[in-house]
Amino acid sequence: MGRLDNAGILRDGTLANMSEEEWDAVIRVHLKGHATSSLAGLIGNFGQTNYSSAKLAVVAFSRVVAMEYGRYGVRSNAVSPSALTRLALAVPGADAELRLPPPGVFDPLDPANVLPLIAWLAQADCPATSQIFHIGGNRVFLFTMPTISARLETRGRWTLEALDRELPGRLVRPMALGGLLGDT
């Protein structure tokens, strides 16, 4: 069996402290260099505006490819893998938190855990297209493209007062990484 390699770089920092070169380097590698997404793109990650932006752009790229080439039998899906990689270990403090389990114990961070989903998606009769998957350990999450959570209409142009009256109770709370993974 062949190999599937994934490359990446990080240039972390808040947007105000990030140079244009740091922004461009991460966009170039993570959007143009390969086509996997990340929870950083699907949920966001503090200090990673460039990385999160590129990873969410992969989702949009995959969606448009599915739209444009589906009539030719092309399927396109976005995959966000979680695994222990050199890139994950490059995050400051990660080596203290990301430890290998004892021999014989299931390793939720083993990159091999991602392979069954990739193999399933590669099957000729796979029904999935325009889907967003996150896989890590023994969990697979299926995400959706943004959906409408509320639809409001008014006669004519909205006013500040009307928006202030109608919107606050309908605002959605962004998903947090801890809530997704079941952490407290």
Q: Please, which residues bridge with residue 132 across strands?
A: 78, 143
| C-alpha–C-alpha distance, residues 44 and 177, integer Å | 8
User: Token pair of 103, please?
Assistant: 């021999």
End-to-end alpha-carbon separation of the chain, Å? Answer: 39
* Distance of alpha carbon 147 from the chain centroid: 16
| Residue from 10, 29, 50, 51 carrying the catalytic annotation | 51
What does the block give as tokens for 93? Answer: 């403090």
Sign of the torsion angle spanned by Cα atoms 13, 18, 22, 27: positive
51 a catalytic residue: yes
Catalytic positions, please?
51
